[in-house]
Amino acid sequence: MSRAKAGDPAAVRQFTVAADDDGIRLDRWFKRHMEDVPFATVSRWARTGQLRVDGARATPGDRLTEGQVLRVPPLDAAMSRTGRAAKPRPVLSEDQIAFAESLVIHRDAQALVINKPPGLATQGGTKTHEHVDGLLDALMFERDDRPRLVHRLDKDTSGVLLLARSARAAAHFAKAFSSRSVRKVYWAIVIGVPSIDDGFIDLPLAKQPGTGGEKMHVDEAEGAPARTRYRVIERAGNRAAWVELQPYTGRTHQLRVHMAAIGHPIVGDGKYGGKDAFLSGTISRKMHLHARRLRIDHPDGSPLDVMAEPPRHFAETLADLGFDAAEGDLPLEEKASSRQDERVAAKRAATAHAKDVRKARRGERRGRAAAKSKPAAPKGRPGGPASRPGKPTRPGKPRGPGAGPGKPRRG
Is 320 one of the annotated active-site residues of the chain?
Answer: no
Q: What is the 3-state secondary structure (H, E, C) of 71-93?
A: EECCHHHCECCCCCECCCCCCCC
Beta bridge partner(s), residue 227: 202
Check 20, 21, 154, 156 and give the catalytic one.
154
Extract the runs of DSSP E, i.e. beta strands, from 176-215. 183-191, 198-202, 205-207
Beta-carbon contacts of residue 383 (< 8 Å; ≥ 6 apart):
377
The answer to whether the CB of 132 falls within 8 A of the CB of 116 is yes
Contact between 141 and 107 under an 8 Å Cβ cutoff? The reply is yes
Q: Is 32 exposed, middle or buried (0-12, 13-18, 19+ CB in 10 A)?
A: middle
Sheet holding 56-57, edge to edge: 2-5, 13-16, 69-72, 52-53, 56-57
DSSP 358-381: HHHHHHHHHHHHHHHHSPPPPTTS
Torsion-angle region of 151 (φ positive above 0: left; ψ -120 to 50: alpha; else: beta):
beta
Q: Quote the CA–CA distance of 260 and 267 in Å, as a whole number.
A: 10
Nearest in space to 147 (alpha carbons), one of 61, 33, 56: 33
How long a stretch of residues is the chain?
Answer: 411
Catalytic residues: 154
